[in-house]
Amino acid sequence: MPIRDIFFTRYFRVFIIIFLGIILGGGWFFFLEPKIEILKIGLTNLKKQKEVLNSRSNRLEELKKITKDYEKIEEEKIKRIYSILPSEEDLPGIFVQMEALAKESKFILRSIEIRRQKKGEEEVEREGGFLKGIDIKELRISLKLEKGSYERFKEFLDKVEKNLRILEVVFVNFDPKGASFGVDLKTYYLTES
């Protein structure tokens, strides 16, 4: 037997093990390692997506709770909320409210003037918070009240303050001789954007 055959016969198992090691190592390096990296990246993305799903599920539950709470609110309470900051000017309503406030305080409403906000006049500040992005318009109301005392006028201002619609006193004028008062007010309303 030639030496070469003796050498191969003697070390055949070693060659087979080395050959299998090269094949398995190459297979690992070229085929399995990239697949494992893809799986690791996929698992990371899966964890992130589960976190997003959980946060959105929590948000959905909060919105469902808010919707359920809103549906429980009575119709009359919703109307009261809209009367605080109405979605339209409601000029006739303002006339009626001012007339009623004057009568309750035992005044005669001599005149009332309502003006819309003009361009160039100071606008409502809405830099942040819940007013950002909401279009709020302003109405100026000028009243002339007669036949009343200073105490009745204080009562009138107290009723203006407690009025459901937002009314802001801007200017007050008092004529002690004629027992007449002038009041300038501001009120607000929402507009469709």
Question: Inter-axis angle of helices 150-162 and 91-104, to 10 degrees?
Answer: 140
- pLDDT bin (cut points 50, 70, 90) of residue 84 is confident
Same domain, yes or no: 61 and 35: yes
- pLDDT bin (cut points 50, 70, 90) of residue 77 is confident
Is 165:173 a contact under the CB 8 Å cutoff?
no
Segments forming the whole domain that contains residue 52: 3-70
Query: What is the rounded distance in angstroms from the CA atom of residue 97 to the CA atom of residue 113?
Result: 13
Same domain, yes or no: 100 and 66: no
Let me know if residue 167 belongs to a domain.
yes
Backbone angles phi, psi at 144, to 5 degrees: -120, 120
Does the pTM of the predicted model rise above 0.75?
no
**What is the domain count for the chain?**
2
Going from the C-alpha of 42 to that of each of 7, 20, 48, 51, 52, the distances in angstroms are 50, 31, 10, 14, 15
Model confidence over 143-180: pLDDT tens digits?
998 887 888 888 888 888 888 888 888 888 887 776 78
Same domain, yes or no: 91 and 50: no
Res 126: pLDDT: 46
Same domain, yes or no: 148 and 55: no
Percentage of residues in the chain with pLDDT exceeding 70? 86
Same domain, yes or no: 97 and 180: yes
Model confidence over 12-46: pLDDT tens digits?
788 888 888 888 887 777 777 878 888 888 888 88
Quick count: other Cβ atoms within 10 Å of Cβ 53?
A: 10
Given a cut of 50, is residue 132 above it in pLDDT?
yes
Q: What is the mean pLDDT of residues 1-9?
A: 68
Same domain, yes or no: 88 and 168: yes
